[in-house]
Structure 1
Amino acid sequence: MRGIRDKFSSGDASLSEVVNGYLSVISRKNQEINAFTSVHADEAAERAEVIGKKIKEGTAGPLAGTVIGIKEVLCQKGYPATCASRMLENYEAVYDATVVRRLMEQDAVIVGRLNMDEFAMGSSTENTIHGPAKNPHNANKVTGGSSGGSAAAVAADMCSATLGTDTGGSIRQPASYCGVVGLKPSYGRVSRYGLIAYASSFDSIGPLTHNVSDAATILKAIAGHDPSDATSSSRPVPDYPALLENPEPAIKIGIPDEYFGDGLDPVIRERVMDTARNMEKKGAELVSISLPHLKYAIATYYILATAEASSNLARFDGIRYGHRADIQEVRKELKNEEEAIRQSLGTNGNGKSGREKLDKALLAMDSPMIRLYKKSRTEGFGTEVKRRIMLGTYVLSAGYYDAYYGKAQRIRRLIKQDFQDVFSKVDVIISPTAPTTAFDLGSKVNDPLQMYLNDIYTISANLAGICGINVPAGLHSDDGLPIGVQFMADAFDEPGLLNAARIAEQALAG
């Protein structure tokens, strides 16, 4: 982004030319990659002219020249916020998310809305009413998810940056698969106001960019306290880009044994260790560490996150919010069911016991309102969302709350304590971002457990509320697909995280 601003200053380019260039790339590539679900060409062109004048006058904001795409889970007034779900396929946002408003206030140009897994539930951007997003490096491979459209748009040079959301790795994992930088801020660092929630105690909003410096610039723009979000922190926002001008290489890097076990591609393992060794040559100290409760992270996450999803998505019942089934069809279904019951038991029942059976069967039928709820949610939600709602409802039920949800909350506390103990000894943790490179489209759609395991290295950061980032680490020697290296730092230590990521970026560049 800094390079583009330099061109503006020298008169070598105009913002309108930059925006039109990105729109041209979207026009050429999006039909295959399917990253954008809607493109705001006219609005972006008009805004480019306005901001271009401000650039000439020297009054433009710090994001002037930045062309950004927004994940469909974030509200942008007047534009679709479908969450890639039939439940919200006709919904247009009536207000701006805080992050969208802040981008606009600092003169970014928003060029469109981005594909995602339905309600941010997925690891491949295949659970979507818009059709799957495809990896720009190989269109037969997934982008990762749920922010797959956000990662693919940057990787395909359709825009200079995007916003995604990360509940269990949904920024970092697709960033790894697509070969871009993906930053998950600490919980509370960025306001969630205007984010259609999946799991409220896990969700984070962050940038996907071409490099670490751009991620720092956008984080500075969107971070900070928001009165509309009670969970947003009032801590001051550091000048992240300025801190990167002179990165400090003499840092302590923790290498957790638990992240390098079975299931990790050996080429990825070696690339991560090579990155660590190269950083050591620049002055870093490598420290072996352990996170003993990490083995429970996946189970803990999918109990707690699905429980929150069950609660958050209860509002989408076809009455208050979301898709509503045809009431005439509902009445017809109930009438047919009643007729079938009467035929099987006799119109008026046979004798007293027959009448009692008939009355009991008719009383057991749904009321029209209950059936409308059921039909609306059945039609509105996709398979993966239904799966997570059912799992979450189960673990919250009276007989299982303490055995599952309560225990998972206690384990979450232990995982957080593990990280606190480690960060008293090291500055950052290095690990793989994903166990493999991007997998084939359709290969894991019917195997939820294998799909969930793609987030094995990212989920723990959300459980602990700490920050994490994916840094591209070149291409795999076997399949030519991107590899990602992950760094994690303590809560609100984004300066330390970005410093380590910048050192790694320089080391990887040779």
Structure 2
Amino acid sequence: MSKLNELNIASARDGLARGEFSAAELTEVYIQAIQAGRDMNAYITETPDVALERARESDARRAKGDAMGAMDGIPIAMKDLFCTEGVLTTAGSHILDGFVPPYESTVSANLRSAGAVMLGKSNLDEFAMGSANITSYYGPVKNPWKATSGPNQGKDLVPGGSSGGSAAAVAGGLAMAATGTDTGGSIRQPASFCGIVGLKPTYGRCSRWGVVAFASSLDQAGPMTKTVQDAAIMLGAMAGHDPKDSTSAPLPVPDFEALMTGDVKGLTIGIPKEYKMDGMDPEIQALWDQGIAWLKDAGCIIKEVSLPHTKYALATYYIVAPAEASANLARYDGVRYGLRVPGDSLDDMYMNTRGAGFGEEVQRRILIGTYALSSGYYDAYYIKAQKVRTLISNDFKTAFESVDAILTPTAPSAAFALGEKQEDPVAMYLNDVFTVPTSLAGLPGMSVPAGFSSTGLPLGLQVIGRSFDEGTVLNVGAALEKAAGLNLKAVTGASS
């Protein structure tokens, strides 16, 4: 039997069912791995006592024949954006120092009800604002992968962001799977950088209740896993209608795993011509071409489609998201919870607390958003951005009249070195160029590991689907995964 922390959800489920090991044994292996891997900085808060307690509860249920499903006894990391009752929740920010929620987010509650074991709270860019996991108050996360050649050989690499701690934990063997959130690419881009599967479901598929808000019309929780099958299993446990969230879709949750038939023959796959950008890295183009060939070989019909407003997506996103962040982050004032920095007056206390509590990138986005919403600029920026967002969404609707799924690259490059691009926020924002349009349209998108750069680093391809058609996304993703045939071992930075 392989090492327990090399198992995926599906194989661990089968091993637990056969009694080959217990949930407590499985959890203990991960607790030890987390302790040995602290240099990665993948976790903000470790919860070994909570994990072992829940693992023993899982074993007790299994002994009685009452196992709750595929996630029962599975050790996972919880992104530190999900409120967890009785456990420190920081959103990677100084301003939430000491905040211990008296309630549980719906997604983490759903996973707990499914028997999942929480190993701890994973690191992230502060308030999920970032593409490299370098803006966290608790320090940057290190990608477990290492370049085998090139200028970054031997250097510590970023894991992507904002869900970089979750991606690094899964890739580095510090969690079997993890929750992430995706506002403009924060599940998919780190999944690509770390060589794992990352699925952003349709907006409304998973509840946002109890998730610290960044941009309310974009934020969506999703699974980050080792395989596509695992993503299907975990999404089934996370998703569901929640009356506490007015944006939660009142739709039944299908058996996503059962929808993965493995047959994609006859599906039409769209290739958006606007994603073939000037100056695109030849390695990314070659990977995309390879993905197209794989799907063609699997019996898919390949069709070029047009998404003409793609070129406006990034600019639109960086008006809409900061504007919503400006409104959402106004609640952090030092009065009710978290950090408080005293001042001579109430206004001074507000300014001191927010000045000390928010990091540079968060302050930048609050200022951008406040400006876009200010009198005289609201119509020129925010309203115009919302109109362009509608055009982007309509582009996808038109494309999906003739295709079943769309294939694109996930990110414009492989993981880069820690410190690189740090002084240029625009260069950092460009990491989301392929993921942002999907988020603006509220569609499901998944990154699947599909190859390697010339320097030995993982690269992902993105599958985009119709609204609430995660089944097709998973099915196409599984076909890519099978064709790629990768056996990813990020712990050693090697592949086979």
| TM-score, with length taken from structure 2 | 0.93
Match of 2:413 in 1: 436
Using the TM superposition, give the Cα deviation of residue 321 of structure 1 relative to its aligned residue in structure 2, in angstroms: 4.2
Asked if the contact 2:123–2:164 (Cα under 8 Å) also holds between the matched residues in 1, the reply is yes
Q: 1:247 to 1:89 in 2, by over 3 A?
A: farther
Which of the residues 252, 272, 287 maps onto 1:236?
A: 252
Which of the residues 371, 389, 406 maps onto 2:366?
A: 389
Letter in 1 for 2:145: H
Asked if the contact 2:99–2:337 (Cα under 8 Å) also holds between the matched residues in 1, the reply is no
Over 4 Å off, 4+ runs: none
Asked if the contact 1:287–1:426 (Cα under 8 Å) also holds between the matched residues in 2, the reply is yes
Q: SS state of the match for residue 415, structure 1?
A: helix
Using the TM superposition, give the Cα deviation of residue 386 of structure 1 relative to its aligned residue in structure 2, in angstroms: 0.3
In the TM superposition, 1:245-256 aligns within 5 A as: 245-256=261-272
Match of 1:405 in 2: 382
- The Cα offsets for residues 260-317 of structure 1, whole Å up to 9 and x where unpaired, read as 2124221121112111111101100110111000000010000010000000001111
Asked if the contact 2:260–2:474 (Cα under 8 Å) also holds between the matched residues in 1, the reply is yes
Partners in 2 of 1:272 and 1:462 — Cα distance?
A: 20
Partners in 1 of 2:398 and 2:64 — Cα distance?
A: 51
Which of the residues 53, 58, 70 maps onto 2:65?
A: 58
Answering whether residue 50 of structure 2 is matched by residue 43 of structure 1, we say: yes
Asked if the contact 2:141–2:164 (Cα under 8 Å) also holds between the matched residues in 1, the reply is yes
Letter in 2 for 1:10: R
In the TM superposition, 1:87-166 aligns within 5 A as: 87-138=95-146, 140-166=156-182
In the TM superposition, 1:345-356 aligns within 5 A as: none
Partners in 2 of 1:148 and 1:201 — Cα distance?
A: 22
Match of 1:33 in 2: 40
Unaligned runs of 5+ in 1: 332-367
In the TM superposition, 1:267-278 aligns within 5 A as: 267-278=283-294
Match of 2:233 in 1: 217
Letter in 2 for 1:36: Y
Unaligned runs of 5+ in 2: 1-8, 147-154, 487-496
Letter in 1 for 2:47: H
Using the TM superposition, give the Cα deviation of residue 67 of structure 1 relative to its aligned residue in structure 2, in angstroms: 0.9
- The Cα offsets for residues 184-236 of structure 1, whole Å up to 9 and x where unpaired, read as 00000110001010000000000000000110011111111101101100112
Match of 1:335 in 2: none
Q: SS state of the match for residue 216, structure 2?
A: coil
Q: SS state of the match for residue 132, structure 2?
A: coil
More helix as a share of residues = 1
Partners in 1 of 2:261 and 2:403 — Cα distance?
A: 22
Partners in 1 of 2:18 and 2:103 — Cα distance?
A: 37
Asked if the contact 1:255–1:286 (Cα under 8 Å) also holds between the matched residues in 2, the reply is yes
In the TM superposition, 1:214-363 aligns within 5 A as: 214-326=230-342, 330-331=343-344
Partners in 1 of 2:21 and 2:384 — Cα distance?
A: 58
In the TM superposition, 1:410-425 aligns within 5 A as: 410-425=387-402
- The Cα offsets for residues 20-52 of structure 1, whole Å up to 9 and x where unpaired, read as 1111111111x2211011111122112212211
Letter in 2 for 1:396: L
Using the TM superposition, give the Cα deviation of residue 10 of structure 1 relative to its aligned residue in structure 2, in angstroms: 2.5
Aligned pairs, number: 469
- The Cα offsets for residues 317-347 of structure 1, whole Å up to 9 and x where unpaired, read as 1224442112xxx33xxxxxxxxxxxxxxxx
Match of 1:182 in 2: 198
Q: SS state of the match for residue 181, structure 2?
A: strand
Partners in 1 of 2:234 and 2:263 — Cα distance?
A: 18
Asked if the contact 1:249–1:500 (Cα under 8 Å) also holds between the matched residues in 2, the reply is no
Match of 1:472 in 2: 449
- The Cα offsets for residues 421-442 of structure 1, whole Å up to 9 and x where unpaired, read as 0011101110110000011101
Letter in 2 for 1:317: D
| TM-score, with length taken from structure 1 | 0.90
Partners in 1 of 2:101 and 2:307 — Cα distance?
A: 42
- The Cα offsets for residues 403-433 of structure 1, whole Å up to 9 and x where unpaired, read as 1111001000000000000011101110110
Percent sequence identity is 47
Using the TM superposition, give the Cα deviation of residue 56 of structure 1 relative to its aligned residue in structure 2, in angstroms: 2.6
Answering whether residue 203 of structure 2 is matched by residue 198 of structure 1, we say: no
Partners in 2 of 1:320 and 1:18 — Cα distance?
A: 39
Letter in 2 for 1:61: M
Asked if the contact 1:263–1:435 (Cα under 8 Å) also holds between the matched residues in 2, the reply is no
Structure of greater Rg: 1
Partners in 1 of 2:89 and 2:213 — Cα distance?
A: 12
Partners in 1 of 2:437 and 2:169 — Cα distance?
A: 26
Letter in 1 for 2:463: F
Root-mean-square deviation over aligned CA pairs: 1.2
Letter in 2 for 1:68: I
Which of the residues 447, 460, 463 maps onto 1:487?
A: 463
